Amino acid sequence: MDIKQLKDNIRNFSLDDGDLGSQGYTQVLLQLFGFTGHGKSSFINSCKYVLEDVENFIEYAEARETPEGCTMKRNAYPLTELITIVDNRGCSKLKHFERAEVYAQLGNFIPIGQEVVWRGNYQPVMEDLVNAESEPNFTDFIVPIFMYNARQQIKEKEMEEVKTFLNNCMEMTGVFPIIVLTFKTNADYMELEKQFRLMGAETVIAIENYTPGSHIKTLGRTTEILMVIDSALRNVRFRMEQPRDPRRERIERKKFLLNYIHQISLHHEREKIENEKREQDTKGEDKSWKCPIL
């Protein structure tokens, strides 16, 4: 598919194209997520750049390659009247509570523009869920897009953890995350693509983002960026061929998140009890060691 066809597919996309119509959805939300510094903000700038047919590169989303990342809150950027791309805050590691925060972002339970803070307990996430009920948003069709820096290989011991994370994102949204490998020209991304395929990924696309220092448009780079958006829309079209209930799906996302929070809370409570028991056992051993022999 050439660039013109890809652009036409994106610009002319309609939620009413299928036999069942929009079924209550009003827009497609491309939810970017992943680790900090893996190119989410740069990808947004690249998408805007290739779709707007402009020669001047504009940095809509602040993008800096730092361990902490630049994005501290959920920011939305319209690509067309029906397609919005969201820059969610990246996480440093896939810790349990950070995952809960990511799921809350993916599930649209944190309002656009709200600051995202990584917290060490479940209570704040629960509060976000309660606050989200004041203005429930169930009309966005969510497509998860997982951004990953191709220069950072996934260790074998981490694969099962990442696989579970991606499967949970599919449970949340009904769409398996599209995997976008960034910095493709600076790494051997083919082995990484194979790893994601083994985790169940259906779509893996390696790209090189446009940046202020590298913004001369090329055929290959532009095509690959457009292919990510087009792949997301093909997922939407496929899912819209089946009967959908946006209100019910939002409820199911909330159930999933509540259950996840409950499970990690139990897990941490068990760990706490086990640690306390080990400490007591250690102290007991120390005391018996110090007792004089009579």
Residue 91 pLDDT greater than 70, yes or no: no
Band (pLDDT 50/70/90 cuts) for residue 2 is very high
Pick the more confident residue, 182 or 55. 182
Per-residue pLDDT band at 294 (split at 50, 70, 90): very low
pLDDT reading at 68 higher than 60: no
% of the chain residues with pLDDT over 90 = 51
pLDDT at 47: 96
Q: Would the pLDDT of 113 be above 70?
A: no
pLDDT on residue 293: 46
- Contact by Cβ (8 Å): 183, 149: yes
In order, the DSSP letters of 135-184 are S----EEEEEEEEEETTSPPPGGGHHHHHHHHHHHHHHHSSPPEEEEE-G
Q: What are phi and psi of 80, to 5 degrees?
A: -140, -175
Q: What is the mean pLDDT of the chain?
A: 85
Q: Which residue has the tokens 């740069």?
A: 42
Q: What is the mean pLDDT of residues 248-269?
A: 85
Query: Which domains occur in the chain, in start order?
Result: 3-11+28-267 (3.40.50.300)
pLDDT tens readout for residues 38-65: 889 999 999 999 998 888 999 998 765 5
Residue 286 pLDDT class (50, 70, 90 cuts)? low
Residue 94 has pLDDT above 80, yes or no: no
What SS3 class is residue 269?
helix
5 pLDDT more than 90: yes
Q: What is the pLDDT of residues 198-220, one digit of tens each?
A: 999 999 999 999 999 999 999 99
117-148 pLDDT, tens per residue? Answer: 655 556 666 776 777 777 778 899 999 999 99
Q: For residue 101, with 0-12 CB atoms within 10 Å meaning exposed, 13-18 middle and 19 or more buried, which class applies?
A: buried
Q: How confident is the model at residue 223 (pLDDT cuts 50, 70, 90)?
A: very high
Q: Quick check: 95 pLDDT over 90?
A: no
**pLDDT at residue 54, as a whole number:** 83
CA 89 – CA 62 distance, rounded (Å): 12
Q: Which residue has the tokens 């959908």?
A: 244
Q: Given this model, what pLDDT does residue 195 score?
A: 93
Average pLDDT over residues 76-91: 89
Task: Tell me: pLDDT of 90 over 90.
Answer: no
DSSP state of 185: G
Q: Whole-angstrom Cα distance, residue 231 to residue 215?
A: 23
Per-residue b or e along 57-75, where b marks 16 or more CB atoms closer than 10 Å to that residue's CB: bebebebeeeeebbbebbb
> For the residues 91-112, what does the mean pLDDT come to?
77
pLDDT for 103 equals 86
Distances (CA, A) of 15 to 27, 79, 96: 8, 15, 35
pLDDT surpasses 70 at 24? yes
| Percent of the chain surpassing pLDDT 70 | 85
The residues pairing with 75 across neighbouring beta strands, listed in sequence order, are 87
Helix (H) or strand (E) holding 39: none
